[in-house]
């Protein structure tokens, strides 16, 4: 999408240069691989190597820990630009930055930061493990049990729908050390892939973001050292809430990326597709649809980057994050649906990009808090 007039997003010169660099990378390096990755349901390993080389896996991480020391807004810019080309790639970079790294930056002790932040910035993919079969929107109905024993904890149970599980070297895992205390027993753990008793289970066969690995992870007497508890024992719920609030802005950025990619594809197609001796874009009905699409995307972008700016400035952003995710995910679904319509019969085949944008958009109203949960958050904060 053209950013000659970025409106109230007001990107700085550094942000605009960063945006252009990511856009060029996505077009030249990622786009040629999208169809192959989609059919193989796997992100190309060489691309992941390039993400690390470009600093995309540690955008907010300070230089002292091997990162690029940029802002949360910059992370959202990267997620949006990648989302215009491939949502699976976008969500890997999003989870790495807005969930896993963000949680460690805010809640880990100095030794944990020194140990894990350089790895996450330079070589390890990270995964965020909260969801279980019994805990989706009711995020704290966790059954993964952590039992204290000598100098470590023993974890037993499993997690579902864990993004980037196949590629991850580090998992931020939430388990309950004392179920009788309810959510006040929830504790965060930094679990390395090669820890004894840990394994990655089956990969889900999904409607969209098919190249992104979404897997079950298993804990069978998994031994986790006490020094790998992140934050305080029994305070994991606070880490989870705070991290998800930030992560929702990242998902909003992914959704405006998907919508933006679909809009550009539709606009190009309508200027090339001729019916009755003229491009279909010459028809007012098509023009109005494109105008509606563009307007909704711009509104979603303003909501998203407003929330990101508030986060960067240390101001309260919870309601704004919920609004951004709610509206951006609805916008992505609406825009991609119209994109398929404008492609006509071609939009229903995988030889054209429309159907993939449409499938990828649906997850935005589900993960990291459903649309109903966002509405609940907004209403609660408005009425309190």
**DSSP per-residue string spanning 196-262:** TTEEEEEEP--SS-TTS-EEEEEEEEEEEEGGGEESSTT-HHHHHHHHHHHHHHHHHHHHHHHHHHH
pLDDT of residue 134: 82
For 183, counting Cβ atoms within 10 Å of its Cβ (0-12 exposed, 13-18 middle, 19+ buried), the class is: middle
pLDDT band at 2 (very low <50, low <70, confident <90, very high): very low
Parse the chain into domains and list their residue ranges: 7-124, 127-234, 238-383
Q: Which two tokens stand for residue 31?
A: 């786009």
Q: Which residue, 355, 372, 377, is CA-closest to 265?
A: 355
Local structure of residue 335 (DSSP, 8 states): H
- Percentage of the chain surpassing pLDDT 70? 97
Which residues on neighbouring strands pair with residue 175, listed in sequence order? 187
Q: Which residues contact 253 (CB under 8 A, 6 or more apart)?
A: 76, 77, 79, 80, 83, 94, 304, 308, 328
Q: Please say if the pLDDT value at position 359 is more than 90.
A: yes
Mean pLDDT throughout 56-66?
98
HSE of 371 in the Cβ direction (CA atoms, 13 Å)? Answer: 12
CATH 1.20.140.10 for domain 238-383: yes
Mean pLDDT value of segment 363-372:
96
**CB within 8 A of 40, min separation 6: which ones?**
211
What residues contact residue 261 under an 8 Å CB cut-off, 6+ apart? 83, 84, 85, 353, 357
Tell me which of 3.40.50.11030, 1.10.3720.10, 3.90.950.10, 1.10.540.10 is the CATH number of domain 7-124.
Answer: 1.10.540.10
* 8 Å CB contact between 361 and 255: yes
CA separation for the pair 108, 366 (Å, rounded): 28
The pLDDT assigned to 123 comes to 98
Q: Please tell me the distance from the alpha carbon of residue 190 to that of residue 126, in angstroms, as a whole number.
A: 10
pLDDT of residue 9: 55
Using alpha carbons only, how large is the chain's radius of gyration in Å?
21
Quote the pLDDT of residue 6. 43
pTM: 0.95
Contact 223, 154 (CB under 8 A): yes
Q: Is the pLDDT of residue 220 over 70?
A: yes
pLDDT band at residue 140 using 50, 70 and 90 as cut-offs: confident
pLDDT above 80 for 139: no
Average pLDDT over residues 212-224: 98
**64 catalytic per annotation:** no
In CATH terms, are 7-124 and 127-234 the same topology? Answer: no
The model's confidence at residue 141, banded by pLDDT at 50, 70 and 90, is confident
Mean pLDDT calculated for residue range 90-119: 98
Choose, from 40, 148, 368, 382, the residue flagged as catalytic: 368
**For position 137, what pLDDT does the model report?**
77
- According to the model, what pLDDT value does residue 1 have? 46
Report pLDDT for 10.
75
The whole-number pLDDT of residue 81 equals: 98
Domain 127-234 -> CATH class: mainly beta
**17-31 mean pLDDT:** 97
Are 341 and 357 a contacting pair, CB within 8 Å? Answer: no
State percent of the chain over pLDDT 90. Answer: 95
- Helix, strand, coil tally for the chain in percent (to 5): 60, 15, 25
What element of type H or E holds 125?
strand 125-129
Mean pLDDT on 229-256? 97
Mean pLDDT value across the chain: 96
- pLDDT tens-digit series, residues 281-338: 999 999 999 999 999 999 999 999 999 999 999 999 999 999 999 999 999 999 999 9
Got the DSSP string for 127-193?
Answer: EEE--BTTBSSSTT----EEEEETTEEEEEEEEEEEETTTTEEEEEEEEES-GGGGGGGEEEEEEET
């Amino acid at each position: 999408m053209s950013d000659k007039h970025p409106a109230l997003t007001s990107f700085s010169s550094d942000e605009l240069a960063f945006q252009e660099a990511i856009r060029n990378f996505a077009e030249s390096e990622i786009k040629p691989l999208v169809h192959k990755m989609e059919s193989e349901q796997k992100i190309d390993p060489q691309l992941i190597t390039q993400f690390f080389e470009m600093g995309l896996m540690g955008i907010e991480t300070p230089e002292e820990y091997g990162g690029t020391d940029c802002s949360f807004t910059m992370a959202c810019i990267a997620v949006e630009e990648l989302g215009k080309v491939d949502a699976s790639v976008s969500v890997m970079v999003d989870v790495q930055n807005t969930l896993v790294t963000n949680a460690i930056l805010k809640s880990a002790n100095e030794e944990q930061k020194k140990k894990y932040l350089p790895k996450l910035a330079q070589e390890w993919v990270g995964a965020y493990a909260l969801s279980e079969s019994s805990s989706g929107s009711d995020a704290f109905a966790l059954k993964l049990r952590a039992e204290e024993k000598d100098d470590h904890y023993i974890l037993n149970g499993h997690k579902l729908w864990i993004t980037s599980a196949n590629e991850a070297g580090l998992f931020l895992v939430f388990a309950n050390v004392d179920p009788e205390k309810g959510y006040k027993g929830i504790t965060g753990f930094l679990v390395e892939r090669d820890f004894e008793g840990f394994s990655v289970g089956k990969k889900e066969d999904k409607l969209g973001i098919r190249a992104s690995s979404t897997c079950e992870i298993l804990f069978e007497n998994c031994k986790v050292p006490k020094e790998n508890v992140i934050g305080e024992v029994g305070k994991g719920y606070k880490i989870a809430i705070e991290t998800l609030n930030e992560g929702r802005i990242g998902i909003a950025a992914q959704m405006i990326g998907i919508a933006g990619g679909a809009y550009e594809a539709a606009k190009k197609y309508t200027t090339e597709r001729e019916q009755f001796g003229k491009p279909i874009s010459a028809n007012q009905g098509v023009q109005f649809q494109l105008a509606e699409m563009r307007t909704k995307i711009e509104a979603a972008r303003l909501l998203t980057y407003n929330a990101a700016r508030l986060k960067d400035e240390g101001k309260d952003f919870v309601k704004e994050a919920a609004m951004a995710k709610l509206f951006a995910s609805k916008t992505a679904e609406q825009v991609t649906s119209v994109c398929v319509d404008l492609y006509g019969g071609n939009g229903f085949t995988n030889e054209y990009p429309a159907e993939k944008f449409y499938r990828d958009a649906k997850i935005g109203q589900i993960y990291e808090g459903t649309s109903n949960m966002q509405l609940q958050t907004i209403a609660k904060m408005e009425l309190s």
